[in-house]
Amino acid sequence: MSARTRFAPSPTGFMHIGNLRTAIFEYLVAKHDGGEFLLRIEDTDQNRKVEGAIDFIYNTLDLCNMKIDEGPKTPGEYGPYIQSERINIYKEYAEKLVEMGKAYYCFCAEETLEEMREYCDRKKIPFMYDGRCSHLTKEEIEEKLKNGEKYVIRQKMPKTGVSVVHDVVYGDVRVENQVLEDQILLKSDGYPTYNFANVIDDHLMHITHVIRGNEYLAQTPKYNLLYEAFGWEAPTYIHVPMVLGSDGNKLSKRNGDASFMDLYNEGYLPSAIVNYLVLLGWSPATNEEVYSMDDLIKNFDVNRISKSPATYDIKKLQWFNHKYINMLSDEEYLKFVRPYLTYDVSNKTEEWVNKLLTIYKDHLSYGKEINDLVGIFFNDDINISKENEEFLNSDESIPLVIKTYKEELAKLDDWNTEKIANVISIVKEKTGVKGKLLYMPIRIKISGIEHGPELPDEIYLIGREKVLERLS
């Protein structure tokens, strides 16, 4: 059977990039094996549900070139694919565990649980439910159910021995059963807990590989004990390292860290984001860094997933994005960057705007950055720094260079980059000046800064009238 993986996010808003990295790994595991990638919506926590979040998830995966084989909008034979629509399924399987003696009804009120917590606090021991309801007689249970008392269903955990879980990345993980609490499977509102719903859904949807963050590794024995209780085969587990921010903390949507849409709206290309994120915690067999989705599918190897946390570095993402921007055709580039330009160009020709944007293609790291780069062409007032003023007074040839530029540019009957480039050659020939003393004086005089695009392009875009005025 080919691999079947699932991406199972909560519908709580825009997709956080840590979750997207996990989705990418899940997609690559499935597609490398010629298998299927499912989308399942885990909305058991109804309080955190955000309207429209499912559309956000679909849009994100679509932009990232990750095709969903089965999901809420592309149903297959194992639906429904939204957990809130599967409540009866979870109730059926939870009650089946009760019948098998692997789970029990727990009628403890919140006040009782709070007393247990306070007791544990006084004793300075971790809180763990003591399993008192597991000793209720059949008659007591029936009486409480008949009286309509609220209950949850808890899993009956073994209290001796060791549970061993095999993970592709971390190997065999051993956990003493005595530290495993009788976890809640079905809450009092009829909704399943995250752990229980995942196991039921993964089995019924024939998921072969479960890929998730390594923070869930310690919970995995609870999953396996559920599989054992039902007599089901557990999936292959692949726990991936966390993605940390520059402060060393885990990236989190709750902490205000970037979502995919934040990056997309800033002008980061989805293909660049995918390429960068897949290398956070996974290393290819070669030294290459730039991969198309097809290349990633072909080369992805779960055995090259790291155990160590990866650090999210916006500068490195910008490097990738710059690479991908440069791979765009000029037509694709202009279509990409034009919406990010916020300056008023209503009095400019389309040719002027396209030229302006095109000369910065080799310099651009992300879409919105274009406004930082092109400001010199829209500011009427220029400010020359003290350092640049000193440079303009540093050599006796500079006034002659500036005067000659003005005279030669004023003669031009056709204002284009070819003619302007020829003027630079004329100034060089007439003054005998070259290098820094030839180029920097005019840059500083017309823009206020000593660096910029190719000088003929800069002079052309600033325009005849402004250039001659600033050279005066």
Report pLDDT digits (tens) over 302-337. Answer: 999 999 999 999 999 999 999 999 999 999 999 999
What pLDDT is stored for residue 28 in this prediction? Answer: 98
Computed over every residue of the chain, the mean pLDDT equals 93
pLDDT over 60 (residue 256): no
With residue 443 as reference, give the H or E element that holds it: helix 436-447
Q: How far apart are CA 159 and CA 176, in angstroms?
A: 8
pLDDT digits (tens, 9 = 90+) for 63-118: 999 999 999 998 999 999 999 999 999 999 999 999 999 999 999 999 999 989 99
Q: How confident is the model at residue 253 (pLDDT cuts 50, 70, 90)?
A: low
Q: Is 334 left (phi over 0), alpha (psi -120 to 50) or beta?
A: alpha
pLDDT digits (tens, 9 = 90+) for 383-411: 889 999 999 898 899 999 999 999 999 99
Q: Which domains does the chain have, with CATH numbers?
A: 86-240 (3.40.50.620), 260-328 (1.10.1160.10), 333-471 (1.10.10.350)
Buried/exposed 9-23: b ≥16 CB within 10 Å, e otherwise: bbbbbbbbbbbbbbb
- Choosing from 91, 253, 348, 361, the catalytic residue is 253
**Contact present, 285 and 76 (Cβ < 8 Å):** no
Mean pLDDT for 286-296 is: 94
H helix or E strand, kind and range, residue 451: none
Nearest to 99 by CA among 180, 153, 159: 153
Respond yes or no: is residue 253 known to be catalytic: yes
Contacts of 150 (CB under 8 A, 6+ apart): 107, 109, 188
Residue 223 Cα distances to 39, 163, 203, 237, 427, angstroms: 20, 11, 11, 11, 78
pLDDT at res. 450: 86
Structure tokens at 289: 């860094």
Q: Where are the alpha helices (DSSP H) in 67-137?
A: 87-99, 110-123
pLDDT, tens digit (0-9, with 9 covering 90-100), for 154-189: 999 998 999 999 999 999 999 999 999 999 999 999
Which residues are 106's β-sheet partners?
152
Q: Where are the alpha helices (DSSP H) in 205-359?
A: 220-230, 260-266, 270-278, 293-299, 314-326, 330-337, 350-358
Question: Each residue of 203-233: pLDDT tens digit?
Answer: 999 999 999 999 999 889 999 999 999 999 9
- What is the mean pLDDT of the segment spanning 412-417? 93
Map residue 386 onto helix, strand or coil: helix
Distance (Å, whole) CA 11 – CA 55: 9
Backbone angles phi, psi at 447, to 5 degrees: -130, -15
pTM, whole model, 2 decimals? 0.90
Phi and psi at residue 141, to the nearest 5°: -65, -45
State in Å, rounded, how far the first CA of the chain is from the last one: 78
DSSP secondary structure of 21-76: HHHHHHHHHHHHTT-EEEE-B----GGG--TTHHHHHHHHHHHTT---SBSSSS--
